[in-house]
Every structure is written in C-alpha cells, then in structure tokens.
A and B are shown apart, each in its own frame.
Chain A
Amino acid sequence: MAVVGVLALQGSYNEHMAALRRIGVRGVEVRKPEQLLGVDSLIIPGGESTTMAKLANYHNLFPALREFVSGGKPVWGTCAGLIFLANKAIGQKTGGQELVGGLDCTVHRNFFGSQLQSFETELSVPKLAEKEGGNDTCRGVFIRAPAILEVGSDVEVLADCPVPDDRPMVIISSGEGAEEEVYSKDRVIVAVRQGNILATAFHPELTSDSRWHRFFLDMDKESPAKALSALSLSSSSSRDAEDLPKNRPLDLPIFE
C-alpha cells in the first residue's frame, strides 16, 4: 500500500495523519530530506507558512521538496502548503519567503484577512463529488486563509468561493509597486489541480469529510510515477517503529 508522507515541521500535520488513519492509509511524518525517499506522495499541511519555510531552510529541505514535486509524485498542499507550492506568492513578510513552486498560479498569502475574518462555508465541488461521490458541496474551513488570484492554462479549478464583504482590501502589486490594482472579482479560486499537484486554501483535515484525502490518493494511482514508486515500497516497511515517541499527542475532536 502506498505510503503517504506528511511534512511535519509545524502546523496541522497531526490532523492529516488522523485523517489518513480514518481511511485506513498509513502516513509517515517527514522532517528530513532523506525521509522523502521512502514516501509515494506528500501532503504539505496547514500552519504558518513563514515558520514552515524557515524550518525547511534550516534543514535544507527545499531542494529535496522541489525534486519531489518535479519528479511527478502526487503532492497536496493545504493552506500554508498551497503557498509553498505556488510559483508566485504575494502579501508575504518583509523580505519574502522561499517557495517550493511547481503550481502555475499566483497566491495571496493572507487574502481573507486575520483571524476575525476566518470563516466556515459550504463550497460547491462538483468535480470532487463526481469522482468521490457524496453531495455536491463540502465543508470548507478557512483559517487566515490564502486564495488563488490567477492560474495558468494547465491548472484545473476545482472550487471557488465568493469573496466575503468584510475582507480587507487586497492590493495586487506587480513588481516593485510599479502597477497596483485592487482585486475586484467577486469570486476567488480556493482549490486547484495541476497534474500531480493538488492545492486547497481551506482545511479538509479539520473536517470529517475524507473525500479530499481519497481524491488525493486516487491521484497517486493515476500518476505516471506509480510504477517507479512500487520499487521503493519494500524499503518502507522498516519505518513503522520510527517517529513514534511515547506520549504522542492524540487526535483532537472534529468540531462540526
């Protein structure tokens, strides 16, 4: 069975591990570059993207992550993970932050504003429902969430959502503040797929709806890298005892 890696630098990696457990898939925590070799797909969880970028830098993870993404194995970024995977991110901290890239889109790091503007909504996801069944909507939990402003032609849009009224003004500056425009559309993209890359601005790992996780696993089955990854499976069985310290925090409840 495929082994799913979850980047465990900071953030909601426990929640992703729990979500994988619920659908009977084995997840392993990834903190070091060499651990990426043993996994067939990778989830980059939510969290603080600046923190995760710093930690990835300290341990020289970026080259390994870029290689993983360009190698064609499935990668899914939620929230902070989406920012990691974007080719271009705006609204970052002073000095910017390093990105993994690979997903042809422009992301605004904190599009929906601060925690007071965090929200929950029902998203219309016909493409997800078509593949994984269930109803046409899914629960979207947006926590200080990013959003996708523009996508390239290869990128398939899986969900968008209306722009809330109380969202702060978003100014898109291209280059060194030369041209500025205000984001004026009334809907914004929040879930996309481009080949082996899946990205969501919201957090399916905080809900009991496991369709997004199944959707991601199905990408693995379709992926051209599958044949290769089968070879590495044999080495993964020895990893069971690893990364399981005692007193490991248990799962939080899912708040409905």
Chain B
Amino acid sequence: MASDGTGVVALYGGSAGNKVVDASSKPSATFSVKVGLAQMLRGGVIMDVVTPEQARLAEEAGACAVMALERVPADIRAQGGVARMSDPALIREIKRAVTIPVMAKARIGHFVEAQILEAVGVDYVDESEVLTPADDAHHINKHNFRVPFVCGCRDLGEALRRVREGAAMIRTKGEAGTGNVVEAVRHVRSVMGDVRALRNMDDDEVFAYAKRIAAPYDLVMQTKQLGRLPVVQFAAGGVATPADAALMMQLGCDGVFVGSGIFKSGDPARRARAIVQAVTHYSDPNILAEVSSGIGEAMVGINLSDPKVERYAARSE
C-alpha cells in the first residue's frame, strides 16, 4: 500500500510490506490473502443455511459461499434468547457437504468462539450483531487470526473501524431476519454517500472528518483516494427478492448476503437460483423480470416501524 504510483497514501512510513498486516502473523495469512477470498466472492450471493441439505441446495443454486448457522435470523428473532456460535459438529457436517467456502458467525468480541471456528477450519468468520454480543465495548482483534473476518457496519466510520481491527471484508448490517430491505438500503446509502462526500472533500478537512466519524485517518484518506471502501463490501440484512438483491448491486455493493430470505420463502430452490442470477445480471431489467417470475411466495417480513422490533444493527458501534 506504499505510494508506488498507485496514488494510495503510504501507511506508517510504508517501507516494505503492508503495515495493515500484523508483522508477527504467519506469512501465509497476509492481508492480501484474506482480502483475496473476498475478492473471489464478488458478484456472488452468500446464503444462510442450517443443515447440510440446505447447503447442498444453496451450492446447486449457485451460491458463492454458505453461512453455517443453527438458526436463521428470522428464527432467532421469533424464539428470542441468547444466540451463540453454532455447534462445530454442524459446521463440520456442512463443510463436508459442499465444496464452496463455508462461513460461520461468532459473537461480537467473543474471540474464543473465533478461535474455535478457526480450529474447525471455516473459510471466513462473521463477527455478527445477529448473535447476542459477548462484549459491548470491544470487537475481536482480528489481526491475531489467520482466518479472515467479515464485519457489519451502518456507516463509513464503523466500516473503517472494523477494517482497522483487521476485518478483510465489510457487510452493511441492514436488519437481519426481517425480510425488510429498508435498513439495508439506509446503510448502503449511508456508506456510499459518505464516500462520495469524502471524495470531494479538501485534503485539509479530512483530519477533522476522520475525528468526527471516529475512524483512523490513514484509512479515511485511502478511502478518499480510492473512491470506495478499501475492502470488499457486501450488503446484508433484509434481502428477500431478486429485485432486492439487484437493488443492492446497483447501489454499488460487491455482492449480497441472503439470510432468512431464501429458506423462509415458499420455494427456496427457485428463489435461491433467481437471486443468484439477479446479482450477476443486476443491471439488465429484462433478465430481472424473467428470473423474478413465478418463484413462489417471499418470506412474510416484519414492519420496522413497530417499536417492539429489536434493532440488531444498533448492538455495536
């Protein structure tokens, strides 16, 4: 990331190597390799699954990865209680069932759950607000891990704080398990709008701006120069239809997480397939119309103006 003609600001003097990476980490877990997998997932759909059969269905539909869970977010909402990391045995079963990457969720700040997931050999860990947070002040120091992490955000400051903690991929939070895309749109627009405003900002104003959004100056400056987040950015939290997924892509996301939207719908196989196609052909309304036709009932969804609905997105800063 040193200033080698790519126009990207050098970090911490930027001698040899990328200083975003913890120097003590093993050579095989460089930040490039962590971001690399996220780059391979671009333009794809990551689906929540709770059984090996669902994982196979997702793979057959063309998911680029699966998220192994015990309960999808809609059920976590309905059943309440504390939501924790999934049983490693379930994750192993799902890993055996498919050849695509398998992700799993750890509670925010619960670095031991993350250690367990790394030992199980998952391809990506999602430090997720959908599970009940284990630490209300601190996120996991993700530089300490060889496994890459994806983290949620609602705005640019939150995204860059997570990147500084070592997240190699960002997803906008939305509101998981609601089937309502309004929060996902709000968060994507917030990040994209912040980046657009930052791009046009005078360099001298970036110091105060970084302070205001509570993000590291170097990452803010890098974002300004790139005109986008410095890592892959997916959308999540409320995507239920092919049109929702294409909306996220047209707003500028690199890909989409779909949680409850598939397996809480009338015909999961067709819906999964339709959403995968909608993400690839996101800017072609003819194909979107074709794939949206006759795919059965969407998940029911939750009206977010009801104050009794718990906001998962507000669980971490």
Give residues in A with beta carbon < 8 Å to B.
8-15, 31, 46-48, 50-51, 54-55, 58, 79-80, 91-95, 109-110, 114-120, 141-144, 164, 203, 206, 208, 243, 245, 247-256
A159 to B279, CA, bound (A): 35
Could you tell me if B28 and A252 are in contact, using CB atoms closer than 8 angstroms? Answer: no
Chain B stretch 58-90: residues in CB contact (< 8 A) with chain A: 59-65
Could you tell me if A114 and B42 are in contact, using CB atoms closer than 8 angstroms? Answer: no
Which of B31, B37, B226 contacts A143 (CB under 8 A)?
Answer: B37
Chain A residues within an 8 Å CB radius of B280: 8-10, 31, 55
Give residues in B with beta carbon < 8 Å to A.
1-2, 4, 6, 8, 17-18, 20, 27-28, 30-33, 35-37, 39-44, 56, 59-65, 95, 97-101, 118, 121-124, 146-148, 192, 222, 226-228, 230-232, 250-254, 273, 276-277, 279-284
A250 to B60, CA, bound (A): 30
A91 to B56, CA, bound (A): 15
Could you tell me if A141 and B36 are in contact, using CB atoms closer than 8 angstroms? Answer: yes
Which of A119, A164, A250 contacts B227 (CB under 8 A)?
Answer: A250
Could you tell me if A11 and B42 are in contact, using CB atoms closer than 8 angstroms? Answer: yes
Could you tell me if B123 and A256 are in contact, using CB atoms closer than 8 angstroms? Answer: no
Could you tell me if A114 and B56 are in contact, using CB atoms closer than 8 angstroms? Answer: no
Instruction: Enumerate 28 A-B pairs (CB-CB under 8 Å) in ascending A order.
Output: A9-B280, A10-B44, A11-B44, A13-B43, A31-B284, A46-B39, A47-B41, A47-B43, A48-B101, A51-B64, A51-B100, A51-B276, A55-B276, A79-B40, A93-B59, A94-B56, A114-B101, A114-B121, A115-B124, A118-B33, A119-B28, A141-B36, A143-B39, A208-B4, A245-B283, A248-B252, A256-B4, A256-B32
Which of B27, B98, B99, B230 contacts A253 (CB under 8 A)?
Answer: B230
A91 to B98, CA, bound (A): 11
Least CB separation from B98: chain A residue: A93
Least CB separation from A251: chain B residue: B226
- With contacts A9-B43, A11-B44, A141-B33 taken as known, whether A253 is within 8 angstroms of B100 at the C-beta atoms is no
Chain B residues within an 8 Å CB radius of A93: 59, 98-100
Chain B residues within an 8 Å CB radius of A119: 27-28, 33
- With contacts A11-B40, A58-B273 taken as known, whether A47 is within 8 angstroms of B147 at the C-beta atoms is no
Could you tell me if A252 and B273 are in contact, using CB atoms closer than 8 angstroms? Answer: no
Nearest-Cβ distance from residue A102 to partner chain B, whole angstroms? 22
Could you tell me if A247 and B28 are in contact, using CB atoms closer than 8 angstroms? Answer: no
Nearest-Cβ distance from residue A46 to partner chain B, whole angstroms? 5
Chain B residues within an 8 Å CB radius of A12: 39-40, 42
Nearest-Cβ distance from residue A65 to partner chain B, whole angstroms? 15
Least CB separation from B103: chain A residue: A115
Chain A residues within an 8 Å CB radius of B124: 115
Could you tell me if A208 and B63 are in contact, using CB atoms closer than 8 angstroms? Answer: no
Consensus secondary structure, chain B interface? loop
- With contacts A10-B64, A116-B146, A255-B30 taken as known, whether A249 is within 8 angstroms of B252 at the C-beta atoms is yes
Nearest-Cβ distance from residue B132 to partner chain A, whole angstroms? 26
Counting chain B CB atoms within 10 Å of each CB, the highest count among A80, A95, A115, A247 belongs to A115
Could you tell me if A110 and B99 are in contact, using CB atoms closer than 8 angstroms? Answer: yes
Could you tell me if A115 and B43 are in contact, using CB atoms closer than 8 angstroms? Answer: no
Could you tell me if B101 and A115 are in contact, using CB atoms closer than 8 angstroms? Answer: yes
Chain B residues within an 8 Å CB radius of A243: 283
A148 to B282, CA, bound (A): 34
Could you tell me if A15 and B251 are in contact, using CB atoms closer than 8 angstroms? Answer: no
A209 to B231, CA, bound (A): 20
Counting chain B CB atoms within 10 Å of each CB, the highest count among A12, A91, A245, A253 belongs to A253
A229 to B40, CA, bound (A): 31
Nearest-Cβ distance from residue B194 to partner chain A, whole angstroms? 14
A13 to B223, CA, bound (A): 21
Nearest-Cβ distance from residue B251 to partner chain A, whole angstroms? 6
Task: Kindly list 8 other residue pairs between chains A and B, CB separation below 8 angstroms, not including A114-B123, A250-B226.
Answer: A15-B39, A47-B41, A47-B42, A93-B98, A115-B101, A251-B226, A253-B226, A253-B230
Chain B residues within an 8 Å CB radius of A91: 99
Chain A residues within an 8 Å CB radius of B284: 31
Nearest-Cβ distance from residue B169 to partner chain A, whole angstroms? 11
A15 to B32, CA, bound (A): 13
A93 to B97, CA, bound (A): 8
Least CB separation from A256: chain B residue: B18
Could you tell me if A116 and B31 are in contact, using CB atoms closer than 8 angstroms? Answer: no
The 8 closest A-B pairs by CB, nearest first: A54-B62, A255-B32, A115-B123, A119-B28, A245-B283, A247-B252, A143-B36, A48-B64
Could you tell me if B59 and A254 are in contact, using CB atoms closer than 8 angstroms? Answer: no
Least CB separation from B16: chain A residue: A256
- With contacts A12-B39, A92-B99, A252-B228 taken as known, whether A51 is within 8 angstroms of B4 at the C-beta atoms is no
A209 to B195, CA, bound (A): 28
Nearest-Cβ distance from residue B1 to partner chain A, whole angstroms? 6
Chain A residues within an 8 Å CB radius of B20: 255
